[in-house]
Amino acid sequence: MHKQPYRICILSLALMAACLAGIPIAHAQTSHVPQVSADGTIQVKAIQVAPHTYFVQGVPEMGSKQNQNFISNAGFVVTPKGVVVIDALGSPVLAQKLIQEIRKVTKQKIVAVVLTHYHADHVYGLQEFKRLGATIYAQRDGLNYLASETAKQRLIASRTDFAPWVNENTRLVPADVWIDQSKTITVGGVEFILNRVGPAHAHEDLIVYVPSEKVLFAGDLVFRGRIPFVGNADSRGWVNALNEIQKLNPAIVVPGHGPYSTNAVEDVVFTRNYLAYLREVMGPAARDLDPFEEAYAKANWSEYDGMPLFRAANRMNAYNVYLSIQAE
């Protein structure tokens, strides 16, 4: 894989998370990066990945006024009795555009929205679906995020950073149905299996599997062809989550960012091996309270140092895993 230079962002950890989450997952043949229209607004286009399943792919950059915070993916499944949407995008205007795309595919009512997790770029469009009467499903730990100062301050900052797309009328919307561990919902004879796999990337991670379509919506758990962004994730829980994804053996995986995948095993193995290696090289130092810098310098990063985002993310990932193992 060819080397590319990357500038290390001099940002707060929270802003770094937003920056890295929106960088492309791979240069894959399945990539459908949206375009900016003549009037300067972003285009949202539904891509069919299975007989009744579609997704829209966010832009390969950090959120901004120019892209209306369209950095994450969302998907939807059409059933004989309504449409089920997975994730709600990063601004109300984007949610409106997603709804317009759904209307191009079907006249069926949007009956449900399932959240993979409560990160801002996946939830700021929720109010548009709530206005349509859709039932919102999320994992119960999302309640903790909604009540947090982090959520409050993030929304305040977003009203400036992404104005006018995120503004004083944008609000955080709680789920109607809070899921503890698992739940299966059936719409028009189509089963949607919702499983909690967090704490992993986030405390409230859910994966959504549609057996009849063999499609898995993985949220921000699977990365392709680039260094994952770990942030303050639970790396041990994340490895366990990837094991659960592999057991399902889906034909298609729709991630939270970047192109969809037709090779779930390969993508899961890459992400899991990277996380496992971080734990292997950081674990002894973390448990023995040895200095992080010494452990990082001793590690052999040759398998990863030519990959996109290595320079921007790897040291921070390793340090966060070092801290998380100490916390364990």
pTM, entire model:
0.82
How far lies 16's CA from each of 12, 316, 322, in Å?
Answer: 6, 10, 18
pLDDT for 32: 67
| Tens digit of each residue's pLDDT (9 = 90 or more) over 76-104 | 999 999 999 999 999 999 999 999 999 99
> Rounded distance, CA 195 to CA 258, Å?
22
| Tens digit of each residue's pLDDT (9 = 90 or more) over 12-64 | 333 334 433 433 333 334 456 666 665 567 889 999 999 999 999 987 666 78
Residues 45, 55 contacting (CB under 8 angstroms) = no
Rounded percentage of the chain residues whose pLDDT exceeds 90: 66
Strand partners, 208: 194, 217
Residues 102, 76 contacting (CB under 8 angstroms) = yes
| Tens digit of each residue's pLDDT (9 = 90 or more) over 183-231 | 999 999 999 999 999 899 999 999 999 999 999 999 989 876 667 878 7
pLDDT for 39: 59
Q: In 162-216, where does DSSP find H-type helix?
A: none
> Rounded distance, CA 225 to CA 228, Å?
9
Please state the separation of Cα 25 from the chain's center in Å.
11
CATH number of 13-264: 3.60.15.10
Which tokens hold the place of 135?
């039932």
Average pLDDT, the chain: 87
Please state the separation of Cα 236 from the chain's center in Å.
18
pLDDT for 35: 61
Based on the number of CB atoms within 10 Å of its own CB, is 291 exposed (0-12), middle (13-18) or buried (19 or more)?
Answer: exposed
Which tokens hold the place of 17?
């998370």
Token pair 């290595």 is at which residue?
310
Delimit the domains of the chain by residue range.
Answer: 13-264
pLDDT for 59: 79
pLDDT at 1 over 80: no
Q: Which 3 state secondary structure label does DSSP give 255?
A: strand
> Rounded distance, CA 75 to CA 273, Å?
27
Q: Which 3 state secondary structure label does DSSP give 165?
A: coil
Which tokens hold the place of 211?
């057996």
Q: Return the minimum-mean-pLDDT range out of 114-118, 217-221, 275-279, 305-309.
A: 305-309
Q: Return the minimum-mean-pLDDT range out of 9-13, 41-45, 123-127, 273-277.
A: 9-13
Which tokens hold the place of 274?
């990277």
pLDDT at 11 over 50: no
Phi-psi region of 139 (alpha: psi -120 to 50; beta: other; left: phi over 0): beta
DSSP classification of residue 53: E
